[in-house]
């Protein structure tokens, strides 16, 4: 068993749960009730669900990798998931820091949830 990948998988499961609960309340409900045209609103709604699926599948993959016996595919897949979460982290940081808000790192704090998954997964991939 790979403890780093298991920790990453459990953390990623928590990230998915927060995304589903808080994201539905803070993002999806306001999005669906806003005056944005119907097509872009529905596309953004679908993208939110795509991210949900992505987070859940990534968490499941990490738990599977953690519990499977070392195979030749474990490290490359773990590096892929680590890069994936690192890219999500960078995307949130770039968007957040480019707006010019006061205390921007706390305004969109999703990166705080995503970065530990990337770090734990990278540690488990070594």
Give residue 89's pLDDT. 98
Domain of residue 61 covers 3-125
Number of domains in the chain: 1
Q: How far apart are CA 22 and CA 28, in angstroms?
A: 9
- Classified as helix, coil or strand, 60 is helix
pTM of the model: 0.91
Instruction: Give, for all 126 residues of the chain, the pLDDT tens digit.
Output: 999 999 999 999 999 999 999 999 999 999 999 999 999 999 999 999 999 999 999 999 999 999 998 788 899 999 999 999 999 999 999 999 999 899 899 999 999 999 999 999 999 998
Q: Please state, in angstroms and rounded to a whole number, the distance separating the CA atoms of residues 75 and 37.
A: 44
């Amino acid at each position: 068993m790979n403890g780093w990948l298991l920790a990453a998988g459990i953390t990623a499961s928590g990230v998915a749960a927060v995304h589903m609960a808080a994201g539905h309340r803070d993002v999806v409900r306001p999005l669906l009730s806003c005056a944005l045209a119907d097509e872009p609103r529905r596309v953004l709604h679908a993208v939110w669900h795509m991210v949900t699926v992505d987070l859940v599948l990534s968490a499941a993959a990490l738990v599977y990798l953690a519990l499977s016996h070392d195979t030749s595919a474990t490290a490359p897949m773990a590096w892929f998931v680590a890069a994936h979460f690192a890219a999500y982290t960078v995307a949130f940081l770039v968007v957040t820091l480019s707006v010019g808000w006061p205390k921007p790192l706390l305004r969109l704090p999703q990166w705080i949830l995503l970065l530990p998954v990337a770090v734990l997964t990278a540690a488990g991939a070594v």
